[in-house]
Amino acid sequence: MAYNAAAAYAYAHRWAYSRNPRYTSYSNTANGDGTNFVSQCLYAGCGVMNTTSFSGWYYFSRSAVSRSWYDAEALHTFLVTNNGVGPYGYDGSMEQAQPGDVIQLCYYGNTFTTSLLVVANRPDILVAGHDYDTDYRHLDDLYYQKRRLIRITGAKGYAGYYPGGDGGVIYLPPGQPSRPIRPNPPNRPGQPSRPQIPGDLIPLTPTLPVLPDYQTPMPFAEDEE
């Protein structure tokens, strides 16, 4: 399954200076919104989340979200070690940067704390990001102590279907025979007819896997009464 870098940076352009209401903003938290924004971009480019407990990468709500979705170090670990569903990549050099890749910055010490999406690489690397909302920004114009590139090389999906990123629909892979139209239950007298849903365009309602109590993501401190 290919990673659609163009869809990832198109999403970055669309939401660089605003917030998608489908997602919580982390701008007022210690992590900031940069990695949350980049995760949204990656999801737009691959369309699948990894719901594995602890080591996965997913967002369903503010209280049902993996740390790798909004924390730079955790996202790095997920991307460079992921052998399951979702995007994956490796630590590359800046000379390898391509649109759709991820750059992370460290401001002091050894901890990387924010993420940016590469939107152009010629003649210079240009990035989009949140917190200091920016698009087509020269990487060298930003202040940082260290930087690293995560070269995104692909994504793995589930067998038999392709969840369509931010669109929330499932498309069958090319060449797959179309599924028959699912008949709707009969309407009550006087109700308008409901449209049929073609089998190759099925609304996707993601569900969070049921986790034992000790694995359930904890709410943020500011969410607690």
Three-state DSSP string of 72-140: HHHHHHHHHHCCCCEEEEEEECHHHCCCCCEEEEECCCCCCCEEEEEEECCCCCEEEECCCCEEEEEHH
pLDDT at 193: 42
> Does residue 183 belong to any structural domain of this protein?
no
In this prediction, residue 122 has a pLDDT band, given cuts at 50, 70 and 90, of confident
Give me the number of domains the chain comprises: 1
> Does residue 138 belong to any structural domain of this protein?
yes
Nearest Cα to Cα of residue 147 among 173, 114, 124: 114
8 A C-beta contact, residue 73 and residue 112? yes
Name the least confident of 49-63, 79-93, 122-136, 156-170: 156-170
pLDDT at 225: 33
Domain of 81 in residue numbering reads as 5-167+205-216
- Residue 5 parent element (H or E): helix 5-15
CA distance 7 to 44: 6
State pLDDT tens for residues 152-168: 999 998 654 344 444 33
> Does residue 20 belong to any structural domain of this protein?
yes
CA distance 56 to 61: 15
State pLDDT tens for residues 92-114: 999 999 999 999 999 999 999 99
Predicted model pTM? 0.72
- Alpha carbon 74 to chain centroid distance? 13
> Does residue 196 belong to any structural domain of this protein?
no
Q: What is the mean pLDDT of the chain?
A: 78
> Does residue 9 belong to any structural domain of this protein?
yes
> Does residue 52 belong to any structural domain of this protein?
yes
> Does residue 181 belong to any structural domain of this protein?
no
> Does residue 39 belong to any structural domain of this protein?
yes
User: Which position has the higher pLDDT, 68 or 204?
Assistant: 68
User: Which position has the higher pLDDT, 168 or 17?
Assistant: 17
